[in-house]
Amino acid sequence: MAWSTRELADLAGTTVNTIRHYHRLGLLDEPDRRYNGYKQYGVRHLVRLLRIRRLAQLGVPLAQVGPVGAGDENAPDALRAVDAELAANIARLQQARADIAAILRDDAPADAPAGFASVAAHLSEADRSIIHIYTRLYDDDALADLRRMVEVDAESGAVGDEVSALPAEADEATRQRLAERLAPTLARNLIDYPWLTDPAARVSRGTRGARVTHQTFVEAVAELYNPAQIDVLTRAGLLAQERVRASAHPDDLTLF
């Protein structure tokens, strides 16, 4: 029995282009040709093609199909590597499903930062953007702390909403008032999460270090927030630090 390239492709459940690709890679031998020049495939080609397809279905890279299919001594290691990659992909897909479920449950924006679906709808566009950046800068423990901070802020979100809506030309009195209202929350965060005063230790291993993290944060804030908002955040941060220092004195009852 002899088959054309298209007939062989149909039998193997693949395409003519795939067969040609396997020829180019040297995985499948070129067959003899008929008197009219058309290729003539036999049973051995079909079996070889089915074996290649089977290994490819398992996830074996085409570059390793030859040695693995030939029973190379490193074949078990290659299969273990494929299995590990499949396990990682399954975990990623399961996490994606969990994230989608959370987004649908909380009616959150589809691009909500991972883990922040429950509060994403309450965040401004700038805040969501900065959190997306945080997910690339800080480790998992820091992000877990950040989620808790955002959840608490969302519950009492009046001040945050005002800061988000603050126009660039906001007057001095408005800026100072918002800074004073925001400071207690920032102070509480500094007390509950001491690493905020020196975040270098919580930088993700995937980044280039504390300097790059700091530079990225500064540039992001400068672009995502208007001058009045940055001024309020700066003032509130200074006031919060003063409150934290004052809290070290037992007789100071003005912190909160």
pLDDT tens for each residue of 21-61: 999 999 999 998 887 778 899 999 999 999 999 999 999 99
Q: How far apart are CA 154 and CA 160, in angstroms?
A: 8
- Number of structural domains (the chain) is 2
With respect to residue 231, please indicate whether it lies within any of the assigned structural domains.
Answer: yes
With respect to residue 233, please indicate whether it lies within any of the assigned structural domains.
Answer: yes
With respect to residue 9, please indicate whether it lies within any of the assigned structural domains.
Answer: yes
With respect to residue 45, please indicate whether it lies within any of the assigned structural domains.
Answer: yes
pLDDT tens for each residue of 172-217: 999 999 999 999 989 999 999 999 888 888 887 655 667 788 888 8
The model carries a pTM of: 0.70
Query: Are 222 and 131 in the same domain?
Result: yes
**Listed range (25-29, 73-77, 250-254) with the worst mean pLDDT:** 250-254
Of all helices (H) and strands (E), which one includes residue 33?
Answer: strand 32-33
With respect to residue 107, please indicate whether it lies within any of the assigned structural domains.
Answer: no
Query: Are 160 and 234 in the same domain?
Result: yes
Residue 168's domain comprises: 124-246
Two tokens, residue 180: 């004073």
Query: Are 159 and 242 in the same domain?
Result: yes
Two tokens, residue 162: 């005002």
